[in-house]
Chains A and B, each alone.
Chain A
C-alpha cells in the first residue's frame, strides 16, 4: 500500500469562474481567480489562464520503498528527537513548533536541538541525540554534507527521517541509512505560481520576477517551474528577472528600478514573501496600487503575505509549508506499522488566494 494519496488543493476553478469580460484583461483585473466566463474557450494566448491549480505533485512512480533501514516497533507512545539546523527565521521557528506541537498532541516525548546554522554543531547534536537512543530521529539537515553521521544512527538501529532538505547520496542512502526524506517540490511551487498569475491576470501582461539567492535549490527549482509553465502562456511576457536575495529592501530597490525602466509592467512574481513585501512597497512608492495596477503573486505562505491577500495587495500565494510535524509523524507511524514508505515524500503545499486567505491567515506562520 502506498502512503495515502495526496490531497489536491484544487481551487474550485469551475465553480468560482468569475465573469471577466471576455478574455481581455485590464491591469486592474480582479485579484480573485478570474477565469474566463462560462462557456468561453481558454484564452488563445494563454492556455493556463483558465486552468485549475495544478495542485501538489506526486513522487515518481518508481520511487523505491524504504526496506533496509532500521525497523521501528509499534508502540503507543514514542520517545523521538529532532535536530533543527537553525531555529531562526519565521519559517524554521514554525517548523520546530510544528514538530513539538504534533508530538505533544500524540503524547510523544520529543527532544529538540538547534545547531544555530553551524554544520559541525549539527553533527555533534546528532551524535549526542543518537547516544540517548531515541525510538526515531528526525533531522532537518543544514547541508547535504552531514550524511556520514546519519549512518551512525543506523549502526545503533535508530530509524532516521529527513525533513525539508536531503543529504548527499554518496554519504547516506535513502531507504538504507535513513528511511525517507520529506521535502517540498519547489518546481511545482513555481509552476503553481505561474498558473495563479495567469489566472489573476487573465493571461496577458508584462511580468517581472524576483528570485531568491542565486544558486539555492529553491530559487533554481522555482524559476524552472515558473518559466516552464509560462511557456504555455505567451500572453504573459517575462520582461525582467533579478536576484533579490530573499531580502525585502533589496527587492524594493530592484522593483523600483525595474518599474521605472518598464512602466507597463502589470504583474510581479516574487519567489518568496519577503521579496513580495518589498515589491508591494515599491509599487506603492511608485504611486501605483498593488493588487489593482500591478498584481503580485508570491510563494511561502507567511502570515504577512496572507494578510496582504486579505487586504487586496497580493493576488495569490503558493505555500511552502513549514509545518512538517503532522506529515512526519504520520509517516513514522506508517513505517512502524510495516506499511510501504517511499524513500521520497512530498510535503503538501496549499494555494492561497482571495477565496481562502481570510480563513487561514490566523494559522499562518
Chain B
C-alpha cells in the first residue's frame, strides 16, 4: 500500500519541474560542470590554482566582460556587432598615444572613451534614427577595424611599457587583472540592475518597448545607455588585450569576440528577443565555451573541431530555448 501511496507523489514532484526550462537555464552550467569533471580526471594539473586563475579564467575574462555588455544590449532587444572592432580600435589608439609618450593616466582613459564614443554612435543610430541594431552596429564592425588598421598602418605595435606589462601580467588581490576586473564589472552591473530602477527599465524596454514608453520610461535613453556601457566595456577590454600580448594588433585583437559574446549569451539560455538579463548565466556561458575549446586543444584535437563543437552546442541551446517556450 505504501508503495502505491508514495509513487504518485514522486512523479508529481518530478512533473512539477519544467525540464526544458530547467535545462535551458542551467544547461550551460551542467555542461561546464561536466567539462570541469572531465578535466579533473583527464587533464594534468587542471586543478592547480595557477591554471584555474591564470590560464582558464584569465583567458575567459575579456570575452566575459564584453559578453556582459552584449547581454545588456540584448536585454533591450538589440545586438552589438561592433564590440570586437571596438576592442581593436581602443587598443590601437591607446598604443599610439603611449608610444607617443602620453602618460598612461591620460592614454588609458582615452582607450575607454573610444569605446564609449563608439557605443554612443551605435546607440544614437539605433534609438534616435531607428536603424536596425544589426545594421547600425555593422557600420563600426567594419569601419572600426579599418580605422584601427589605418591608425597604425596595419603593423603590430609592440609597447614595452610598465603599464602595459601590468595590464597583461599584473596581479591584484591575488587575481590576474582581467579576472579582478571581471568581478568588479559583474558586481557593479548586478548592483545597478537589481537595486536601481535602471534594471527594471532595461527589462521593460526589452520586453515591450511601446508599453515601457507609455508608462513614462525614456526608452531611447535606456537603449542608448546599454550601447554606451557595452562600448565602454569593449574599450576597457581593448586595454586588457593590449596588455595581454604587450602589443596592439589591429587585425586580430578582439577578432570574432562579438560572436563569442553572442554565443555565450545564447547558450546561457537568454532569448535574443530581449526582456531578459542574467549576468551570472552569461559568465557561465563564456566559461563553458572557453573551457570546451581549451579542453579540446589540450587534448590535441584540432581547433577546427573545437569550433564545430561550439556550433553544435549553440544549436542545442537554440533547440532548448524553443522547446521551453513551447512548453510555456
Contacts and interface: CB of A to CB of B under 8 A. Distances in A.
Q: Are A and B part of the same complex?
A: yes
Interface string B41-85: 001111010110011001100000000000000000000000000
Given A281-B246, A285-B54, A247 B44 contact: no
B234 to A, nearest CB: 15
B168 A281 contact: yes
A262 interface: yes
A259 B204 CA distance: 47
Contacts of A277: 245, 247
A281 B302 contact: no
B80 to A, nearest CB: 21
B302 A243 contact: yes
A249 B249 contact: yes
A280 to B, nearest CB: 10
Nearest to B155: A90
A248 B245 contact: yes
B110 interface: no
Contacts of A274: 156, 249
Interface stretch (A154-162, A250-258, A292-300): A250-258
Contacts of B132: none
A220 to B, nearest CB: 14
Contacts of A257: 55, 294, 297-298
A249 B245 contact: yes
Contacts of A263: 44-45
B249 to A, nearest CB: 6
B328 interface: no
A231 interface: no
Contacts of B244: 249, 252, 281
Interface string A66-99: 0000000000000000000000111001000000
A90 B156 CA distance: 8
Given A252-B245, A284-B169, A260 B153 contact: no
B252 to A, nearest CB: 5
Nearest to A246: B252
A215 B249 CA distance: 23
A250 B45 CA distance: 21
A281 B155 contact: no
A240 B58 CA distance: 22
Interface residues of B, number: 36
A249 B252 CA distance: 8
B245 A260 contact: no
B303 A243 contact: yes
A77 to B, nearest CB: 32
B43 A281 contact: no
B299 interface: yes
Nearest to A304: B158
B238 to A, nearest CB: 12
Interface in A219-275: 240-243, 247-250, 252-254, 256-258, 260-263, 274
Contacts of B50: 286-287
A88 B146 CA distance: 13
B288 interface: no
Given A258-B297, A261-B299, A263-B45, A249 B153 contact: no
A284 B55 CA distance: 12
A108 B149 CA distance: 32
B59 A260 contact: no
A214 B297 contact: no
A247 B247 CA distance: 12
B216 interface: no
A214 B59 CA distance: 23
A253 B252 contact: no
Contacts of A249: 241, 244-245, 249, 252-253
A278 to B, nearest CB: 6
Interface string B247-261: 101001101000000
A242 B51 CA distance: 20
Given A261-B44, A278-B245, A285-B58, 15 more contacts: A88-B153, A242-B302, A247-B249, A248-B156, A248-B245, A249-B244, A249-B245, A252-B245, A256-B59, A257-B55, A257-B297, A257-B298, A260-B43, A277-B245, A284-B169
29 contacts: A88-B153, A88-B154, A90-B156, A240-B300, A242-B303, A243-B304, A247-B252, A247-B255, A248-B245, A248-B249, A249-B241, A249-B252, A249-B253, A252-B244, A252-B245, A257-B294, A257-B298, A258-B298, A260-B45, A260-B46, A261-B44, A262-B44, A263-B45, A277-B245, A278-B245, A286-B50, A286-B54, A287-B50, A287-B54
Interface of B: 43-46, 48, 50-51, 54-55, 58-59, 149, 153-156, 158, 168-169, 241, 244-247, 249, 252-253, 255, 294, 297-300, 302-304
